[in-house]
Amino acid sequence: MYQATRHFRSEFVPIRGLDYHVQVWGEPATQPALAPLVLLHGWMDVAASWQFMVDALSEAFASNRTIVAPDWRGFGQSGAAPGKGAQPDTFWFADYLADLDALLDHYAPAQPIDLVGHSMGGNVAMLYSGVRPERIRRLVNLEGFGMPPSQPGQAPGRYALWLDGLKSLRRGELDIKTYDNVGSVARRLMKTNPRLSLDKAEWLAGHWARPDASGQWQILGNPAHKVPAAQPYRVDETLAIHRRISAPVLAIEASDDSMGQWWKGLYSLADYHERLGQVPDARVAVVQDAGHMLHHDQPAQLARLIEPFLA
């Protein structure tokens, strides 16, 4: 199994009525010039997903730097809804921004941070950096592409899709599959990402899932995350926020074209690059021989791109 070289500690922080699980590498920085590094995972992922990239960071970069990675609400070991035993039926995207704002109040109340987000976490990071530009020193977006444009006329259908999703959730149709053992979870991870090696898959499986009372391994993701969003995606609003980003932005992509695989022409990499042109200071880099989970596929290559940018 993969052997981590930088070990994290788990902390539980009260955030907006939830117990938020946060992984922390390193002690508080002894040199005030070193900004804390905050890592935001993607949809159906967990904070432990960053371990391979954290291990690939050089000692010179990581020394005296606090690195924190939360499990988003309803993922990993973080709570899903306020109140003992409460279960949500919808996750609202704006809550991620509010959760991040409260987390930064806890970990970096008086200092701008370096922010890295992957996929959904990259989208959160971009929006937050435009809403709270003074809190971000540097921003790295790993394949947080946003969504295809929508039109006002799509709103009725979108709300209907959301209502149908709530019914499917109540009927148990969105429940997340369980697995007989941790090895089955590892094989599931490798099926989704063929570049993921067995040793990393086995390590990650133990953080991505947990056995329940019956011994079945459950993915640590609340099924309500599978309910479609109620509102259409508004590109004009998103770009208005992106234009307010004052931090330098490094947008890192994998050599595999995830956009082409997902959207089948509805939204392309060229469209995404056009949107990036609205960000005042943005540049693009590519990680070779990698897919969407580029922090799993090529952590050393990724670290070599991130370190000089954040230096």
Confidence (pLDDT) at 121: 98
Confidence (pLDDT) at 33: 64
User: Shortest CA distance to 89 belongs to which of 213, 210, 223, 220?
Assistant: 223
With a cut of 80, say whether residue 32 has pLDDT above it: no
With a cut of 60, say whether residue 31 has pLDDT above it: no
Complete domains list, the chain, with CATH: 9-149+233-310 (3.40.50.1820)
Report the alpha-carbon distance of residue 82 to residue 66 in Å, rounded: 28
Helix (H, G, I), strand (E, B) or coil at 165: helix
Q: For 34, phi and psi rounded to 5 degrees?
A: -85, 110
Q: Are 113 and 38 in contact (CB under 8 A)?
A: yes
Q: Over the stretch 44-53, which tens digit does the pLDDT of each residue have?
A: 999 999 999 9
Q: Over the stretch 213-262, which tens digit does the pLDDT of each residue have?
A: 999 999 999 999 999 999 999 999 999 999 999 999 999 999 999 999 99
Helix (H, G, I), strand (E, B) or coil at 202: helix
Q: CA distances (Å), 261 to each of 23, 264, 287, in order? A: 32, 6, 17
Q: Which residues contact 47 (CB under 8 A, 6 or more apart)?
A: 21, 22, 23, 39, 41, 69, 70, 71, 76
Report the alpha-carbon distance of residue 271 to residue 291 in Å, rounded: 19
Confidence (pLDDT) at 26: 87
Report the alpha-carbon distance of residue 9 to residue 161 in Å, rounded: 40
Confidence (pLDDT) at 71: 98
Residue 223 DSSP label: G
Q: Are 288 and 301 in contact (CB under 8 A)?
A: yes
Q: Over the stretch 165-202, which tens digit does the pLDDT of each residue have?
A: 999 999 999 999 999 999 999 999 999 999 999 999 99
